Amino acid sequence: DSGVTQTPKHLITATGQRVTLRCSPRSGDLSVYWYQQSLDQGLQFLIQYYNGEERAKGNILERFSAQQFPDLHSELNLSSLELGDSALYFCASSVWGQETQYFGPGTRLLVL
Amino acid sequence: GDSVTQMEGPVTLSEEAFLTINCTYTATGYPSLFWYVQYPGEGLQLLLKATKADDKGSNKGFEATYRKETTSFHLEKGSVQVSDSAVYFCALSDQGGAAGNKLTFGGGTRVLVKP
């Protein structure tokens, strides 16, 4: 158990819908990262937050957005969903001064 | 940009066989290198890491040495078990500073160990 929690574990929705994925980092970790794992694209970095502020952006679609709240949990919002958004979405966290990231169990999203 | 290339799988081995998974990288700076493992139905777990040239990371019988001259970080284990069946990811993190930096992953290598 990494100490990073993600909810829900599974999500099934329809095209055009909007969903919110939630992540709670390990206690004390200020950095939160979101990654997408899909069969065709592999594991890709989406976005990083540090202590509530956006720090880095990767291959994140404009239809996707994220935020980190004062209690340090983070949410990833996916809107106008398409079939191709079906993937496993991971959250990871790290502590100040350390490069090691600890991953949550992921949220498996299926868009029908 | 940064990239990681690792051998494609699946790699199928018998128990107690020697495992090697090749990983090479391209980075602009002096990255830290990682191996993560993903067991079926689970998230990624850190297996080992190395932060500078010639460092050797090791854990659970797995080893990898940071080779700057060949830009490689090959994973090895001398005697695999059925429980080592998983997908292995090589990754790098390039000069993120104390607040951290994104990981760039290779495509993953599926390993299947048969009894």
pLDDT bracket for residue B42 (50, 70, 90): confident
Amino acid identity for residue B114 in this structure: K
pLDDT at B46: 95
B114 touches chain A (CB under 8 A): no
pLDDT bracket for residue B28 (50, 70, 90): confident
For chain B, percent helix, then strand, then coil, each to nearest 5? 5, 50, 45
A42 touches chain B (CB under 8 A): yes
- pLDDT of B97 strictly over 80: no
* CA B43 – CA A104 distance, rounded (Å): 6
- pLDDT of B99 strictly over 60: no
Residue pair A68/A6 in contact (Cβ under 8 Å)? The answer is no
pLDDT (mean) for B78-107: 87
* CA A61 – CA A91 distance, rounded (Å): 17
Q: Which has more pLDDT, B23 or B2?
A: B23
CB contacts of B86 in chain A (<8 Å) are none
Q: Among A40-54, A66-80, B83-97, where is mean pLDDT lowest?
A: B83-97
% chain A with pLDDT above 90: 84
- List the structure tokens of B8: 């494609």
B66 touches chain A (CB under 8 A): no
Q: Which has more pLDDT, A65 or B101?
A: A65
- pLDDT of A51 strictly over 80: yes
Q: For chain A, first and last CA: distance in Å?
A: 31
pLDDT at B98: 55
pLDDT (mean) for B8-20: 95
CB contacts of B104 in chain A (<8 Å) are 45
Asked if A45 lies within 8 A of B103 by C-beta distance, the reply is yes
Residue carrying structure tokens 């952006």: A57
Q: For chain B, first and last CA: distance in Å?
A: 41
Q: Among A38-42, A59-63, A84-88, where is mean pLDDT lowest?
A: A38-42
Instruction: List, as one string, the DSSP characters of chain A.
Output: --S-EEE-SEEEE-TT--EEEEEEPPTT--EEEEEEEETTTEEEEEEEEETTEEEEE-S--TTEEEEE-TTS-EEEEE-S--GGG-EEEEEEEE-TT----EE---EEEEE-
pLDDT at B95: 66
Nearest to B98 among A42, A48, A96 (CB): A96
pLDDT (mean) for B21-39: 93
